[in-house]
Chain A
Amino acid sequence: MASTFSRMLMGRRTAMLLASLGTGALATGYLMSDVNHAAVIDRTKLFPPSSDYPDLRKHNNCMASHLTPAIYCRLRDKLTPSGWSLDQCIQTGVDNPGHPFIKTVGMVAGDEESYEIFSDIFDAVIKERHNGYDPRTMKHHTDLDSSKVTHGQFDERYVLSSRVRTGRSIRGLSLPPACTRAERREVERVATMALSGLKGDLAGRYYRLTEMTEQEQQRLIDDHFLFDKPVSPLLTCAGMARDWPDARGIWHNFDKTFLIWINEEDHTRVISMEKGGNMKRVFERFCRGLKEVEKLIQERGWEFMWNERLGYILTCPSNLGTGLRAGVHVRLPHLSKDPRFNKILDNLRLQKRGTGGVDTAAVGDVFDISNLDRIGRSEVELVQLVIDGVNYLIDCEKRLEKSQDIKVPPPVSQFRK
């Protein structure tokens, strides 16, 4: 029975068909022996949704802020076509109450349909996390035409490195919290087969986590390319680390400027980067690489998860839309000590981090500066926003060097007009 399906597995049409069949058809096709339907119904009566409603009184995450008992009761017994439930979406947020000062998201999607079937809670969480983007009324616009970007070469006396990252999910296969081992292996096959078709400056190689030699591993660590099994409870409680390191790996081009992580937090994470300040080239390679990979998977009948409500679909609601973080490592010794620094960043819709990434402190006046928003503006718009913003910061830095005054810029508009 199952083997007939598996032979057809490489086709996207088949995966779409399977995903749309729904549990009803699956149950008639593969009736599980030992299922006691009466027992299941009895237990549901014995434990109504109200008995299962999580205790969120000490919680501070977006899920906890919006999951009312009414929403929970309405959604508890619903399932996506592959059988994923609300409880599974919110487990990470129940297990991780959060921090009084840092508001985490507190829920993940198990598949593309999670965002639809549990939209009552996801839409509210998305709206809060994305500063007012309302998936019920607004549309997200995708634009990967890097030729539109201007002034994308930074002063390299200040900008040390430039980087753009995003994620992509393969439609028809469940996301990391929910995927079966077979699905995860399928993601790896689809992605690596596409990547092996890249040519020229994008040509590269795949390093599977389970088959890496010690030397390869050390070299990838030295290049800062290697990712490790997640330790953050935010991720492990969501189930993303199951079966580690099965079907996980790293692909990068020989130039080491284009890097893909396979089956880490998302099906794929795509990173373009280089030393120095040529953000235009980084973004150009980013777009070109993404379009090439998309073309290569489409040739085999696959596509990325995307819709006009939410843009690119990824595991964490915080990465919807573009999933894009474009940033630089930039030296700002004077500006960073100016009391107006944070306000300037806020108005430019930029975010600062330490150079170790999220939750690290800046070292030696070098900051990681990147876009705050992910959705509601296209990739081109966000990268232009980063370029304009970083140029402004460098300008401020230069002025302060010469003891000239700086101005706080007017706030940049959040969503496209």
Chain B
Amino acid sequence: MPFGNTHNNYKLNFSAEEEFPDLTKHNNHMAKALTLDIYKKLRDKQTPSGFTLDDCIQTGVDNPGHPFIMTVGCVAGDGESYDVFKDLFDPVIQDRHNGYKPTDKHKTDMNHENLKGGDLDGNYVLSSRVRTGRSIQGYTLPPHCSRGERRAIEKLSIEALTTLDGEFKGKYYPLKEMTDAEQDQLINDHFLFDKPVSPLLLASGMARDWPDARGIWHNDNKTFLVWVNEEDHLRVISMQLGGNMKEVFRRFCVGLQKIEDIFKKHNKSFMWNEHLGYVLTCPSNLGTGLRGGVHVKLPNLCKHAKFEEVLTRLRLQKRGTGGVDTEAKGGVYDVSNADRLGFSEVEQVQMVVDGVKLMIEMEKKLEKKEAIDDMMPAQK
């Protein structure tokens, strides 16, 4: 809860052993990393805004996880969480982000001109999309923020977004005051986000006070979309039909830069540091927070025995076209970068562009019943 946490002081009357959660049936990154010693060390600490270790881990305690899917199991309540509770977050980050060390530095590169190629074959690529998140320095994150803070974040975001012009000129739709017609339109455009139902999110406190200070902004062209106060302060999405990922990425970088510039004019900045890159609520989104992907038709390749291995070597990930945890339909897959931390934005989108290009060539070969064994890529 915001502004100090004396409730945690009360807990210190009980020993660490008595308070330590029962994680024997748990399978998430937090449960793997949290030992009684770490708990003892960190339990009497709190961030300047009053977020505590128990606050970080509640979602992981309440959601033991799945034997096959490894969830993260902890969230940050503010930027300082990653520092005050680094004894927990460092091993979680290392495990989740392929061995990223506490001493590693993350490179940020939002210069879209550094992307080579990127105009993919529209006969195979149905749509292209890049998303990320941004947190506003000086405010606590969705698991912890008070109503007053969340409203302030919304107000700042609206002020910034409504000054955008040109291709970025658009409108804000607060969830609280949407008309039925506006709601239907946003649903049809696949823009509307709803109150989270996943217990992973609910248990962390992100859905408190819904739908107060939540909303959706998009440009008139419907190619640039911002979600306010959903899982993060801001989620920014650039997208369009077809395979021109280069254009999508250009608009993404330019739009974000404009937004950042306007925030700077108001003496606000995005949460960022050179170790973790952009700081977001979930440790899985640290670094770039970027998921760049396409909906691509690969009806032959997806049946090939080496499909999974191709993806792994290209550092790509597949999902169904409904998003995370959905099945592919009709051979159409959502293919995106697997990494978030340790590679820059340009590098990650480059991997998507190069990887999808290769996979389309493989698909074309398989259409002609030719072999693809000599096309297997090296591990990136």
A residues within 8 Å of B by Cβ? 1-3, 5-6, 9, 18, 23, 26-27, 30, 32-36, 39-40, 43-44, 47-48, 51-55, 79, 81-85, 87-88, 91, 94-95, 178, 180-183, 185-186, 210, 236-237, 241-244, 246
Contact = CB atoms under 8 A, between A and B. Distances in A.
Given A82-B10, A83-B7, A183-B14, A95 B47 contact: no
Contacts of B268: none
Contacts of A54: 147, 209, 212
A26 B14 CA distance: 12
B210 A43 contact: no
B6 A43 contact: no
Contacts of A95: 207-210
B210 to A, nearest CB: 6
B122 interface: no
B14 A180 contact: yes
A51 B18 contact: no
Contacts of A181: 18-21
B49 A55 contact: no
B21 A51 contact: no
Contacts of B207: 95
A79 B6 contact: yes
B62 interface: yes
Interface in B33-92: 44-50, 58, 61-62, 84
Contact of A182 (B5, B6, B11, B210): B11
Given A5-B13, A32-B8, A32-B9, A210 B146 contact: no
B2 interface: yes
B48 A180 contact: no
Given A3-B15, A40-B4, 7 more contacts: A47-B152, A48-B148, A81-B10, A185-B18, A210-B25, A236-B202, A246-B21
Contacts of A246: 21-22
Nearest to B45: A34
Contact of B12 (A2, A185, A244): A2
Given A43-B49, A178-B7, A87 B1 contact: yes
Nearest to A94: B209
B12 A34 contact: no
A27 to B, nearest CB: 6
Interface string B133-155: 00000000000001111011000
B3 interface: yes
7 smallest beta-carbon distances between A and B, as pairs: A51-B148, A83-B7, A182-B14, A83-B6, A182-B18, A47-B148, A6-B15
B201 interface: no
B60 to A, nearest CB: 11
A180 B50 CA distance: 17
Contacts of A236: 202
Contacts of B16: 2
Interface of B: 1-16, 18-22, 25, 44-50, 58, 61-62, 84, 146-149, 151-152, 176, 202-203, 207-210, 212
Given A6-B14, A180-B11, A241-B62, A47 B50 contact: no
22 contacts: A9-B18, A26-B9, A26-B10, A32-B45, A34-B45, A34-B48, A36-B48, A40-B48, A43-B3, A47-B2, A51-B148, A52-B146, A52-B148, A53-B147, A54-B209, A54-B212, A83-B5, A83-B7, A91-B208, A180-B19, A185-B18, A243-B62
A190 to B, nearest CB: 14
Contacts of B46: 32, 34-35
B9 A44 contact: no
Nearest to B202: A236
Given A33-B45, A39-B49, A84 B7 contact: yes
A139 to B, nearest CB: 31
Contacts of A87: 1, 146
Nearest to A241: B62
Contacts of A6: 13-15, 18
A52 to B, nearest CB: 4
B6 A33 contact: no
Give the one of B6, B12, B49 with max A CB within 10 A.
Answer: B6
B61 A23 contact: no
Nearest to B11: A180
B208 A83 contact: no
A394 to B, nearest CB: 45
A245 to B, nearest CB: 9
A79 B61 CA distance: 26
Give the one of B15, B16, B50, B146 with max A CB within 10 A.
Answer: B15
A334 B169 CA distance: 67
A346 to B, nearest CB: 36
B6 A23 contact: yes
A292 to B, nearest CB: 28
A95 B210 CA distance: 6
Contacts of A32: 8-9, 44-46
Contacts of A244: 62
Nearest to B5: A83
Contacts of B13: 2, 5-6, 18, 26
Given A91-B208, A242-B62, A39 B48 contact: yes
A267 to B, nearest CB: 16
A300 B358 CA distance: 73
Contacts of B45: 32-34
A40 B18 contact: no
A30 B61 CA distance: 25
Contacts of A210: 22, 25
Nearest to A30: B12
A383 B7 CA distance: 40
Contact of A51 (B22, B151, B203): B151
Contacts of A183: 14
A228 to B, nearest CB: 14
Nearest to A40: B4
B344 to A, nearest CB: 32
Nearest to A23: B6
A236 B208 CA distance: 11
